[in-house]
Amino acid sequence: MRPKAPGPVPTATLWCVLATGLVSALLFGDGLGVNLILVAIPATLAAYAAARAAGRRARPWTLVWGVGGLALLGIPALHDAGWPTFLAVVGAVGLASLALHGGRTWRAVLFGPIGLFDSVGSGIGWAGRGLREMVDGSRGRAAVVLRTTAVAVGLLVVFGALFAGADAAFADLLGALMPDVDSVADVPLRVLSFAVGLLGALAAARTAAAPLRWDRLKGRPGRPHGRLEWALPLIVLNLLFAAFNAVQLAVLLGGYERVFSETGLSRAEYARQGFWQLLWATLLTLAVIGLALRWAPRGGARDRTLVRGVLGTLCLLTLVVVASALRRMDLYVDAYGLTRLRISVAAMELWLGVVIVLIMAAGVLGARRLPLPRAVAASAAVGVLAFGLMSPDALVAEQNVRRYERTQQIDIGYLDGLSADAVPALDRLPEPLRSCALAGIEAELEGPGTPWYATSWSERRARDILAERGVSTEGYLCTPWRDGFQEESGGEGGYDGADPYVPHGG
């Protein structure tokens, strides 16, 4: 599984690794934005130079993973919310590991990121040997490079200072473009950012030159069972799924009001009672399918037909369960409004449905025509990218504002904690609800401006909106009364109902 030691580190790789460390030290520390892409570019070039020197060539899937990773790093440049940014960064690391390692199996998909950490220690020694060889072989050229760099930097400093003194607009432009490194307190953070960027780029280059071969890690295949022993439990499970789906169809045709009257449950209680159970049912079904494939009979064409028929039926019935879970969440949101948790678990349930469709497609087309591990990884990356691009905080605010326009019910205490992505939707609320909803966001955006490389597009748009219309809560109590509120037990979003934001003394 472990490859041979790579050859000498290319000079281009060393320069790109150093550039990654410097860019990390300059641009990290003020937040995340386009600086993630600016750091990823030299790191990608370092890995490319190392792979090319080692004789590795980019394949179509390598380009898919690489481009997908860079696209995910664009999420922080567009939106302000931290949780989609976290998912995007984690997804980008996963796609980077796939691009560097390659591989078609589940082991390559799941264990690839471990190879990046494995390359940190070996990458330091690899770079040290390369530096010694470069210095020994080019002592005269190193002096020329240092002199040339010193002259270029000196010219930039001298003429840049002159032009900045001659024109205030040019001075402002330079001030906006140059990172702020004046504070002594920032030095430890800058040093840490330099080390992380340097070691990260070095690990990526070392992995690109000599990756761990996860596909060579073989597991013991499961023992095939007899047809009756294997199929009978799954057929019983299919019958249970079919009975549940038949009840769901009867409820849909008969109307939910009849179910509410017979069970005594409210719309929200019925939705809350069902969604989480159906989500767990979907997850457990995927586990059952994985174990069933491991222990499936493998005697010939008849066994393959049996496996496809039984598991295909289970997948179809599970898709109906996924649709039912999403319908329950729709009822839940209609009763209590949309929150971050609810949109997250609904997105996860939707992605699990996509995975089930991919399993069915792989069963029909075969593993060669549709490599399931790669397809699932690609669907997860597309899901994270779509989740970040649609701006979940903005969707939460938009849905709750529409619900207020329809029912006059809103939870300002929850919306006040959203990110700057929610400002355009919350700006439509009438006063004083608008100011109460935007007060917390405005407080987060106050203070010195964030540098351009750490400012998202949503944050700039929110600042423009708040600067144009302002926020004023003077004379109003922005803490809702709890008397008479309908509270949701065990859920996210706190209390609900009509929030009486009244003047002081009212």
Same-domain pairing of 148 and 24 = yes
Same-domain pairing of 55 and 186 = yes
Same-domain pairing of 302 and 258 = yes
Q: Is residue 438 domain-resident?
A: yes
Q: Find out whether 431 and 378 touch, Cβ atoms under 8 Å.
A: no
Q: Is residue 67 domain-resident?
A: yes
| Residue that is written with structure tokens 């609800």 in the block | 433
Cα–Cα distance, 33 to 307 (Å, whole number): 48
Same-domain pairing of 403 and 386 = no
Give one DSSP letter per residue of 133-198, joined into a string: HHHHH-HHHHHHHHHHHHHHHHHHHHHHHHHHHH-HHHHHHHHHHS-----GGGHHHHHHHHHHHH
- What 3-state class would DSSP assign to 31? coil
Q: Is residue 221 domain-resident?
A: no
Give per-residue pLDDT as tens, 72-88: 999 999 998 888 999 99
Same-domain pairing of 178 and 35 = yes
The pLDDT value recorded for residue 310 is 93
Cα–Cα distance, 354 to 196 (Å, whole number): 36
Cα–Cα distance, 121 to 34 (Å, whole number): 29
Same-domain pairing of 369 and 268 = yes
Same-domain pairing of 421 and 330 = no
Cα 388 to the center of its chain, rounded Å:
7
Residues of the chain with pLDDT > 90, as a percent, come to 33
What is the number of structural domains in the chain? 3
Average pLDDT over residues 470-499: 50
Same-domain pairing of 399 and 386 = no
Confidence of residue 502 (pLDDT cuts 50, 70, 90): very low
Same-domain pairing of 373 and 475 = no
Is the dihedral angle over the CA atoms 377, 383, 387, 390 positive or is it negative? positive
Cα–Cα distance, 222 to 292 (Å, whole number): 10
The pLDDT value recorded for residue 491 is 40
Q: Is residue 506 domain-resident?
A: no
Same-domain pairing of 329 and 419 = no
Q: Find out whether 81 and 421 touch, Cβ atoms under 8 Å.
A: yes
Cα–Cα distance, 57 to 35 (Å, whole number): 28
Give per-residue pLDDT as tens, 28-75: 877 888 999 999 999 999 999 999 988 888 888 899 999 999 999 999
The pTM assigned to this predicted structure is 0.81
Same-domain pairing of 155 and 276 = no
Confidence of residue 476 (pLDDT cuts 50, 70, 90): low
More confident residue, 36 or 498: 36
Give per-residue pLDDT as tens, 229-276: 889 999 999 999 999 888 878 776 666 666 666 666 666 666 666 677
Confidence of residue 482 (pLDDT cuts 50, 70, 90): very low
pLDDT score of 98 more than 60: yes
> Looking at this protein, which amino acid is placed at residue 352?
L
Average pLDDT over residues 428-447: 85
Q: Is residue 505 domain-resident?
A: no
From 103-112, 267-276, 375-384, the region with the lowest mean pLDDT: 267-276
Closest by CA to 411, choosing from 331, 326, 333, 330, is 333
Closest by CA to 248, choosing from 314, 334, 328, is 328
As given in the structure block, the two tokens for residue 131 are 């530096």
How confident is the prediction for the chain on average, in pLDDT?
A: 81
Cα–Cα distance, 274 to 320 (Å, whole number): 14
Cα–Cα distance, 354 to 380 (Å, whole number): 9
Average pLDDT over residues 94-113: 88
Q: Is residue 4 domain-resident?
A: no
pLDDT score of 142 more than 70: no
Confidence of residue 505 (pLDDT cuts 50, 70, 90): very low
Same-domain pairing of 251 and 374 = yes
Cα–Cα distance, 463 to 170 (Å, whole number): 24
Q: Is residue 189 domain-resident?
A: yes
* 429: CB partners within 8 A, 6+ apart: 401, 404, 410, 437
Q: Find out whether 404 and 428 touch, Cβ atoms under 8 Å.
A: no
- What 3-state class would DSSP assign to 78? helix
Q: Which domain holds residue 286?
A: 227-390
Average pLDDT over residues 409-425: 88
- Show which of 192, 216, 240 is a domain's final residue: 216
- Show which of 190, 216, 242 is a domain's final residue: 216
* 343: CB partners within 8 A, 6+ apart: 392, 395, 396
- Show which of 170, 188, 216 is a domain's final residue: 216
Give per-residue pLDDT as tens, 192-226: 889 999 999 999 999 999 888 888 877 777 788 88
Give per-residue pLDDT as tens, 111-126: 888 888 888 888 888 8
The pLDDT value recorded for residue 436 is 87
- Which DSSP letter does residue 12 get? H
Cα–Cα distance, 375 to 119 (Å, whole number): 26
Give CA torsion, residues 492, 498, 499, 503, to 10 deg.
180
| Range list of β-strands (E), 339-485 | none
Average pLDDT over residues 306-323: 92
Q: Is residue 222 domain-resident?
A: no
Q: Which residues pair with 317 in a beta bridge?
A: none
Cα–Cα distance, 283 to 351 (Å, whole number): 11
